[in-house]
Amino acid sequence: MEDAYIITGGKKLIGEVMLSGAKNIALKVIIAALMFESEVTLTNIPRIQDIHELIHLLELLGVKIDFTGNTVIINPKNISSNKVDLLHASKIRVSFLLFAPLLHTFGAAIIPNPGGCRLGARSIDRVIDGLRALGVHVEYDSQTGYYNALMKEAPSGEYRFEKPSHTGTELMIMMSVFGAGLITLKNVAQEPEIDDLISMLNESGARIKRVGVDIEVEGVEKLVQHKPFHISADRVEAATYAVAGIASGGSVTISSIQEHFIKSFNDAIIRVGAKVENLGHGTWRYIVTTPMQAIDIETAPYPGFLTDWQPLFAVLMTQTDGKSAIHERIFENRFSYVDELRRLGAKIEYIEKNVANPKEHYHFNYDTKKQYAQTIEISGPQKLHGGVLTVSDLRAGATLVIAALIAENESYVKGVSHISRGYENFIEKIQGLGGEIREI
């Protein structure tokens, strides 16, 4: 295999897609299952590369896992090592969440600096600060690339995030579940995927509740699952197929996702001039009925516009009338797809956006000594043509595929293994909408 797709574009994509379970829930609840006294069953788990990588990593720690269909059964009792393999952990950023189960099990954890998509300098400083605030001693060995953590007593205290952190909030929740008394986490992230993790833990005996922008965790002695936990659908996958339908001038229906996961996405689609129909029971239809208008987008933490949606919107904006701007606040280096879209004829330029207080405005660790390119302007409508494209990360991969699907003639997309990290049955779902795509 050449790790590539051949795509013949120019067709309207029409049909229905049943969404898979959310990658960013599945990874977290699998890791959380290691803290249980009982066997844990999780359903609606997507069969994607990141899940397979995580399962292999956990099996190296001695955990017994069965992954059949979309159900994962985890037996955490045989976990035998507190050191996470560097090679496998480097492939998946959420590996640092293993601090929680390993510290609770062994009182010590040896974990490498996390991997995952290279979207700028994704510092975990806030996470390490949080661990220390709860009484964990953490040191980083720059020679080996490992963090060494030691916990001599049950976590206690409180921690305030300087800026909300999605995965950081999840780790601190897991660290607090077996805490001494009440632990308060302040200025936490509000993303709905976190609420799935909270529900999974609370159903099994945890005492976690949101209080405004804070979370309170009352420590318990054990977690025991009483029924399988079914994870929610993937809101990034939802946006992917919705944009594919709209950008191609077609009509796509997506099933099994609740409104609060995609409200800000739907609001943006309506602003563009496309139609969003709520068919009930978590089913949504997206269709173009009038010429689409350019709009400006700014990424923000939930309930704002999700950063993973902005590459998809860049393709959509090439088909709208006027000039659109996309401003990225969550990550630096999130426009790796721009040069590739230009190869297909997209008119995209980097522009400056005046920001009064960038350290407050941006959610990454802003360095006044560095140059940043955080805003692009897209001119449309623009007919795209075929070309040779290279995928650099997961979300850019889906973006380039959609661009190739709406472009005239044939495109060759390389590096598509990135896409398998986060999309289940991607080719089959695109083909089900009428897209001409095949792997070579």
Which residues are tagged catalytic? 117
Q: How many angstroms separate the CA atoms of 148 and 80, rounded?
A: 17
Tokens of 87: 């090679």
Token pair 């009352």 in the structure block, residue = 218
Q: How many angstroms separate the CA atoms of 311 and 70, rounded?
A: 28
Q: How many angstroms separate the CA atoms of 322 and 40, rounded?
A: 52
Indicate the SS3 state at residue 101: helix
Token pair 């449309």 in the structure block, residue = 380
Indicate the SS3 state at residue 123: coil
Tokens of 391: 């995928």
Phi, psi of 334, deg, nearest 5: -105, 15
> Quick one: which H or E segment has residue 192?
helix 192-202
Transcribe 195-238 into DSSP letters: HHHHHHHHTTT-EEEEETTEEEEE--S-----S-EEPPBPHHHH
Q: Are strands 158-160 and 146-150 parallel, antiparallel or unpaired?
A: unpaired
- Rounded (5°) CA angle 51-55-57: 115
Nearest to 326, CA basis, from 379, 288, 280: 379
> Quick one: which H or E segment has residue 256?
none
